[in-house]
Amino acid sequence: MSAETHEAVHRHEPPTSFIRKYIFSLDHKVIGIQYIILALVAVIVGMTMSVLMRMNLSWPGTNWPILATLFPGGAPGGVINPEFYLSLVTMHGTIMVFFVLTTAPQGGFGNYFLPIQIGAEDMAFPVLNMLSFWVTLVGFIVILSAIFFSGSASTIGPIGGWTGYAPLSALGQIAGPGQGMGMNLWIISIAIFCVGSLLGALNFITTLLNMRTRGMSLMRMPLTCWAWFTTAVLALLSFPVLLGGGILLLLDRLAGTSFFIPGGLYVSGILSGTTPSFPIHTGGSPILWQHLFWFFGHPEVYIAILPGMGATSHILSTFARKPVFGYRAMVFAIFAIGLLGFFVWGHHMFISGMSPYSAMTFSILTLSIGVPSAVKTFNWLGTLWGARIRFTTPMLFAIGFVSLFVAGGITGLVLGQTSLDLPMHDTYFVLAHFHLVMGVASIFGMFAATYFWFPKMFGRMMSERLGKIHFWITFVGVYCIFVPMHVMGLVGMPRRYAQFTEYTFLSRLHPLVVFVSVVAIITVLTQFIFYFNLIWSIFKGKKAGANPWEATTLEWTTASPPPHDNFAGVLPVVYRGPYEFAVPGAPNDFVMQTEPETETERVGGNGHNGHRH
Amino acid sequence: MATTVTGTKPLTKTGLGGGSKGRGPNGNGSPKRNGHRDAFFDARSAANRYRIGMWVAMASILMLFTALSSAYIVRAASANDWQPLRMPRVLLLSTALIIVSSITLEFARRKLKAGQQSAHKSLLVLTTLLGLGFLGSQVFAWKELAQQGIYITSNPHSSFFYLLTATHGAHLLGGLAGLGFLTLRSRLRTDDELAATKSQAQTDAVSLYWHFMDVLWIYLFVLLFFWRQV
């Protein structure tokens, strides 16, 4: 920053060249939109894969001529083969968890709105911010390349699930289809993604600690900022562990070490050490990979959902026209969830044969996360209680988030108990649980965020009519998809199986499987209404003013879309908390954070510099 | 910092919408900084972010090495194929070099604070050379092991030895890049007080990182050769 900022309007002009402005941009807003576009592309890939999987599950053996054309190796004669199905499982999970659920909520909306909501002109390290996006994009390109260079004609990528359990993932080509080049690319992609996320997290934390505007104390930050901050802390501390695990796994595969590969393995008819293609391995610990993976994997769940919680709190308060119920409790609950998230990774490993004493410890810690989660849920309900709710599309999605979080979270209490988890872990019950709470709830948070902040980002409103159609079909759809899956799991349907034609005890479930697939395809198609609404509204949407929702936080004090330096050179000054709705005696039912305390202005306190009415 | 409420209109009550009562104690430029968004304040805040960012980055690197260390401890106990390496003697030289480099860098930092630019610069160059010497010594240790026929696949201890030294070395390269940046920047003379604040912060950040690398190496050294597995 230069020296002439003293009492002066100090504008930063945007760069003029197209490449500097839109491609290699240093502006956090452009970078945020780039992240969102990345997620919007990645989610189409992930959804397409889930549709292919559903087709195979509900109509096994059907000849789909188009698949024969597109995937001659994976679907010879138009029938999806089991390897192809398993690689779909892997790529669907990896792309969805990393490139959708981690990029859109944090990299996308966090990048765009964290600096504006704390009254900063940009992130603390703009160049690092640009790098973190481009590194993430390289990671995405590498994971896509795993589709095309999977090392096996019959798959579209590696086989191993998004968890990539060793020793299968550590052995290399010898272990069968989907264990060749595609697995290397999978690990490399995730390592690259780790680096990108770490750079992002570093930037988020530094920005929040260092660049809050005058008067923006920690307890005056919107809950979204708390959520993004906690998420960044989780990413900062958990991604390095995955990175370390990934390095070890790659060394096992490429250098021939034995970190995760036990001795005396007999794979594909070959004993370890008897041929050059399968070198000798001794003494490695497959469970070690699970520990390293899940030490990252559990915080990752919160990395996906915390920003959704933040957005939901923010949006509920805005459209209930009431302050968030128990702001402080909400802040501590976010932090408690984040903190506890580091001590519960073992609940993913109950069936790994861990000591019952460790399992009990992990179980108790896991169940204790129910406490801050319940605090948040009841505070959301408290916010809605007795409110004159404005049922806009973002509000519907935020309420949907609460509903899905409860519906998906409640089964967490079931699965958190070792005795119940043991029989259910590898069934559709777990699949339904985590899809509801980690996948769909997070995505609902992001839908809410999109409909809510779109006017700020593009200066136009999204269509409410299309938004409501999108909401209702999606909301009913996801329940119709995932509630039956709980039942399937209780009956004993194992997850990750390509089809169930050989299991007579599951044949009675087949109509349910078909029902789920039909609803899933309808719900996926409905998402194109959202895409259409998004693109159409950028050009044709109703013009939005600076504050179309009559909200209180700083992003609504500036123009829509905000200028390059966010506040046109005059940083706002903050005088009050983020959710001052329905303040008795105030002229409007909302009081902006920049509204001074009228006559309590004190001599020697804040001048009016920077404040704009 | 309590706000004296002189008016009685309900509007003046803050905190209704969540958030702290009264003036925020922090946030950049809380009211105790006499009310102006002045340039010096901007510079100081801009400078602080280098220190904050470095602490945050170090937390993340620490987690990487924590993960690798726990893998080390678990792997050592998971099977009986662990054959402890004999410590290459040259690692003692490495350790000495990096400790001395930390000391010289600390002097360099203080010289900058005292405004002695040329002493600052030559101490930076000395530190860089010591850092390069450390890396050379590490490579020498690798060569010594390789001559004995001990490679990364030979046994779990050697796997971890190569892995940990390489990971540490890669991070140390980042520190060398930082030193190179400081050395290049010290050639530009500035009398600008704001620029000086910023360059002091950058020097602080780099030296923080360098000391961290130093302590990290000592830790790894102890873990690799003095920690006894059962």
pLDDT in tens, B100-125: 999 999 999 999 888 888 899 999 99
Neighboring chain A residues of B31 at a CB cutoff of 8 Å: 214-215, 602, 604-606
The three-class DSSP label of residue A375 is: helix
Least confident of A517-526, B12-21, B146-155: B12-21
One-letter amino acid for residue A284 of the chain:
G
Chain A closest-CA separation from residue B135 CA (Å): 21
The three-class DSSP label of residue A151 is: coil
Among B178, B174, B85, which residue's Cα sits nearest to residue B135?
B174
CB distance B27–A215 less than 8 Å?
yes
Write down the mean pLDDT value for chain A: 92
A211 or A3, which is more confident?
Answer: A211
Q: Where in chain A is the domain with CATH 1.20.210.10?
A: 26-260, 326-544
Among chain A residues, CA nearest to B35: A606
Residue B183 domain-assigned?
yes
* Pair of tokens at residue A20: 């500097």
Which residues in A72-99 are b (16+ Cβ under 10 Å) and which e? eebbeebbbbebbbbbbbbbbbbbbbbb
One-letter amino acid for residue A280 of the chain:
I
Q: Which pLDDT score, from 0 to 100, does residue A569 have?
A: 84
**What gap in Å lies between CA A158 and CA A135, rounded to an integer?**
22
Q: Which pLDDT score, from 0 to 100, does residue A130 have?
A: 96
Say if residue A561 is preceded by a cis peptide, omega within 30 of 0. yes
The predicted model gives A507-531 an average pLDDT of 96
Neighboring chain A residues of B53 at a CB cutoff of 8 Å: 124-125, 202-203, 206
Q: Which pLDDT score, from 0 to 100, does residue A5 have?
A: 41
- pLDDT tens-digit profile of B136-166? 999 999 999 999 999 999 999 999 999 999 9
Rounded to the nearest angstrom, the gap between the alpha carbon of residue A367 and the centroid of all alpha carbons in its chain is 22
CB distance B43–A1 less than 8 Å?
yes
Q: Name the β-bridge partners of A275.
A: A278
Reported as a pLDDT band with limits 50, 70 and 90, residue B230 is: very low
Write down the mean pLDDT value for chain B: 83
CATH of domain A26-260: 1.20.210.10
Chain B closest-CA separation from residue A262 CA (Å): 9
Q: Give percent of chain A with pLDDT exceeding 90.
A: 82
Neighboring chain B residues of A606 at a CB cutoff of 8 Å: 31, 35
**B196 with B190: CB under 8 angstroms?**
yes
Q: How many CB pairs below 8 A link A and B?
A: 256
Q: Is the CB of B34 inside 8 Å of chain A's CB atoms?
A: yes
Residue B139 domain-assigned?
yes
Q: Which pLDDT score, from 0 to 100, does residue A370 have?
A: 95
Chain A closest-CA separation from residue B102 CA (Å): 25
Q: Return all residues near B105 (Cβ < 8 A) that are at least 6 apart.
A: B123, B124, B127, B179, B206, B207, B210, B211
Q: Which of B1, B4, B9, B28 is the best mutation test for A, with the most CBs of A within 10 A?
A: B28
The predicted model gives A524-548 an average pLDDT of 96
Among chain B residues, CA nearest to A128: B53
**What gap in Å lies between CA A193 and CA B125, rounded to an integer?**
35
pTM: 0.92
**What gap in Å lies between CA A309 and CA A302, rounded to an integer?**
10
Token look-up 């530190």 returns B127
> Could you tell me the sign of the dihedral formed by the alpha carbons of A21, A25, A31, A36, in that order?
positive
Q: Is the CB of B78 inside 8 Å of chain A's CB atoms?
A: yes
CATH number at residue B162: 1.20.120.80
Which of B25, B29, B34 is opposite residue A604, by nearest beta carbon? B34
Q: Name the β-bridge partners of A590.
A: A581
Residue B17 domain-assigned?
no
Reported as a pLDDT band with limits 50, 70 and 90, residue B80 is: confident
Q: Please say if the pLDDT value at position A362 is more than 80.
A: yes
One-letter amino acid for residue A107 of the chain:
G
> Could you tell me the sign of the dihedral formed by the alpha carbons of A480, A485, A490, A492, in that order?
positive
Range of the domain at B169: 39-225
Token look-up 């957005």 returns A311
CB distance A248–B71 less than 8 Å?
yes
Q: B116-122: long-range contacts (C-beta < 8 A, 24 or more apart)?
A: B117/B186, B117/B189, B120/B186, B121/B183, B121/B186, B121/B187
Q: Please say if the pLDDT value at position B17 is more than 80.
A: no
Residue B131 domain-assigned?
yes
Count the domains in chain B: 1
At A267, which helix (H) or strand (E)? strand A266-267
Does the domain made of A326-544 have the CATH classification 1.20.140.10?
no
Neighboring chain B residues of A257 at a CB cutoff of 8 Å: 152-153, 156, 159
Q: Please say if the pLDDT value at position A606 is more than 80.
A: no
CB distance A263–B79 less than 8 Å?
yes
* Pair of tokens at residue A151: 């090392």
CB distance A576–B163 less than 8 Å?
no
Q: Is the CB of B68 inside 8 Å of chain A's CB atoms?
A: yes
Q: Which pLDDT score, from 0 to 100, does residue B196 have?
A: 81
Residue B44 domain-assigned?
yes
Least confident of A100-114, A179-193, A269-283, B2-16: B2-16
Range 99-158 of A in CB contact (< 8 A) with B: 124-125
Q: Is the CB of B73 inside 8 Å of chain A's CB atoms?
A: no
**What gap in Å lies between CA B15 and CA B12, rounded to an integer?**
10
- pLDDT tens-digit profile of A440-449? 999 999 999 9
Reported as a pLDDT band with limits 50, 70 and 90, residue B189 is: low
Q: Which pLDDT score, from 0 to 100, does residue A279 have?
A: 86
Neighboring chain A residues of B192 at a CB cutoff of 8 Å: 3
- pLDDT tens-digit profile of A58-83? 999 889 999 999 888 888 888 999 99
Half-sphere exposure of residue B1: CA atoms within 13 angstroms, side-chain side: 14
* Pair of tokens at residue A337: 């969830």
**What gap in Å lies between CA B165 and CA B221, rounded to an integer?**
9
A16 or A562, which is more confident?
Answer: A562
> Could you tell me the sign of the dihedral formed by the alpha carbons of A109, A111, A116, A118, in that order?
positive
The predicted model gives A199-224 an average pLDDT of 95
The predicted model gives A268-275 an average pLDDT of 89
Q: Which pLDDT score, from 0 to 100, does residue A82 have?
A: 92
- pLDDT tens-digit profile of B32-41? 343 444 555 5
**What gap in Å lies between CA A148 and CA A169, rounded to an integer?**
18
Token look-up 């039942």 returns A487
CB distance A216–B28 less than 8 Å?
yes
The three-class DSSP label of residue B75 is: helix
Q: Where are the alpha helices (DSSP H) in A149-264?
A: 168-171, 181-210, 223-254
* Pair of tokens at residue A367: 């169940």
**What gap in Å lies between CA A611 and CA A598, rounded to an integer?**
13
Residue B20 domain-assigned?
no
At A271, which helix (H) or strand (E)? strand A270-271
**A120 with A566: CB under 8 angstroms?**
yes
